[in-house]
Structure 1
């Protein structure tokens, strides 16, 4: 173990000595209910897809929008709940609880809450994808061509297209992989694979291929640490470099051989919704399991309804929008 640590440490120190000492500042993005995120394949600095809970905590603050969307499975429904008076919000949440409660015992166990959250993640992706398809579908035929996506995403300015050449090339590959029946169009399900390849296992081979094309400079089918940090290191300080090396060694390089193989690359690129759902279950239980019996009664959840769904702080009357539609959906 000591030998494994010593050699990489010498490499890091040597590499760090050759880098300029520059401050690295980044402003956290505050999570709000959003439609049509600007970047359908939002990435972290190292190239991995951003996890769903990236904005759950930002700049030391907890943002409850993530919790509400994780329960309601819809940005639109979360916005609607935000406008409801408390009693109506609780009433609707009570209806949802009967659907979460798979064994009908009037308690929500951890596995039931996790299953519901994973379902919500899927419906959130579908909702976002459908909204973006509507934006791109200029002829309103319910499906999109590559030309429609190109126009919607990049416009038609030749200079802009030239600047984004690598992005466009990757997007075209993603479009072609998502087009399951190879008819040149993406229907609703295919478009979801295009907008959320990190949540679509059949798209993983393409994600791996693109990652290797981007970082595997020696062409050996693996990504070592120097390839992993790439040109990013030129504008970073020594502390950043040491942090990245630690993450590479102890988070990404799971078998400790000093390089990332195919499975390790995908594990780094693709966030685990299972892990995120587990974290969200823990978060909601900590704030709501008042009797510490490791299950949530309906009353406990309704007593802490604001942790699960939004509502107006004051009752503004009985004028409620779309209640019949909401009940029909439930």
Structure 2
């Protein structure tokens, strides 16, 4: 199931119009290909966003059939780098990885000017802190309703910032700021990724995750609702594979094994999955015709634009 959950910006901060970047409660070792769970039994929205990208997927949903075909043809032409009329696994894998990188770069670009107040090409912790939390710092958040949450957010931000700041000078270079915003992309940030994950799910504060906390983070039943089959599957995952020492809890090491499972290449897996689902003649490569035949499927994938692809000639590979 999807490990990432958006941490909603609190209304009080938004009201003061601070340029707070979208925070994520949980992070992956690699950028998530989609905000959807990858569960084909409930549709193909994950693949749609993987092929098209999150923003482009929304655009596709609003196009006429003819407009969708025309746009898909332009995208396929760009994926087909050797121009032989076929999309291979290598080309598709490269494309999805490219969209991941582009999404991260654009996200960092979007926030950089908001925080580099003195325009010196670096962002200090003070610049970030003052821009994000502003005058609330003067009265230690006494003016906000949920004081404890704000203090927790500040502590968490400072810890992540200091971890990303490899030379410890209190100032983030562009690479360090990227590690701050996207810690899942940097191996040296893995400990803070695991720590944040445990803190998010560990409701009783004992430093580890029990089965109820694990399930409760993914599923909250409504009155009278029957537990879905996938929840039962997750219970099995917890006891059979996640809890490796069988003590009934997930400790930091087990959480690391769960959310940072080695060098899993999600783009490679998604490329293989998309070819499997759309390769009608099973020759291991895709034609535009095959993709058009599976238009409804593609209109639910990450290929087409991870984070907002433009097929107008300005978004170069």
Whether TM-score is above 0.5 comes out as: yes
1:43 aligns with 2:26: yes
**Which residue is 2:271 aligned to?**
281
Tell me which of 290, 296, 301 is aligned to 1:300: 290
Tell me which of 210, 225, 244 is aligned to 1:225: 210
Structure 1 distance, partners of 2:51, 2:232, is 38
Q: CA deviation at 1:249?
A: 1.2
Matches within 5 A, 1:245-284: 245-254=235-244, 256=246, 258-260=248-250, 262-270=252-260, 274=264, 276-277=266-267, 280-284=270-274
Q: Contact 1:73–1:123 at 8 Å: present in 2 too?
A: no
Q: Contact 1:225–1:248 at 8 Å: present in 2 too?
A: no
Matches within 5 A, 1:99-138: 99=81, 106-138=85-117
Q: CA deviation at 1:40?
A: 2.5
Q: Contact 2:122–2:172 at 8 Å: present in 1 too?
A: yes
Distance 1:224 1:71, change over 3 A: closer
Structure 2 distance, partners of 1:229, 1:134, is 38
User: How many residues are aligned here?
Assistant: 273
Bigger helix fraction: 1
More moved, 122-131 vs 85-94: 85-94
Any idea what the Cα deviations from partners look like across 1:138-189, whole Å, max 9, x if unmatched? Answer: 3333332222322443343223465421221121011011112333222222
SS at match of 1:173: helix
**Which residue is 1:185 aligned to?**
171
Unaligned runs of 5+ in 1: 1-27, 30-35, 311-320
**Which residue is 2:304 aligned to?**
309
Structure 1 distance, partners of 2:269, 2:289, is 22
**Which residue is 2:9 aligned to?**
none
Any idea what the Cα deviations from partners look like across 1:224-275, whole Å, max 9, x if unmatched? Answer: 637965998xx98996998775342134224646554554221334488946
1:204 aligns with 2:190: yes
Any idea what the Cα deviations from partners look like across 1:184-238, whole Å, max 9, x if unmatched? Answer: 222222111101112211101233455667859678xxx4637965998xx9899
Which structure is higher in RCO with an 8 Å CA cutoff and minimum separation 6? 2
Structure 2 distance, partners of 1:82, 1:271, is 37
SS at match of 2:163: helix
Larger radius of gyration: 1
Any idea what the Cα deviations from partners look like across 1:275-304, whole Å, max 9, x if unmatched? Answer: 643553355335521212232135534665
SS at match of 1:135: helix
The root-mean-square deviation of aligned C-alpha atoms, in Å, is 4.9
SS at match of 2:79: helix
Tell me which of 32, 42, 48 is aligned to 1:67: 48
More moved, 300-309 vs 177-186: 300-309
Q: Contact 2:26–2:197 at 8 Å: present in 1 too?
A: no
SS at match of 1:92: helix
Structure 2 distance, partners of 1:52, 1:273, is 16
Unaligned runs of 5+ in 2: 7-18
SS at match of 1:296: coil
1:325 aligns with 2:314: yes
Using the size of structure 1 for normalisation, the TM-score is 0.60
More moved, 193-202 vs 147-156: 147-156
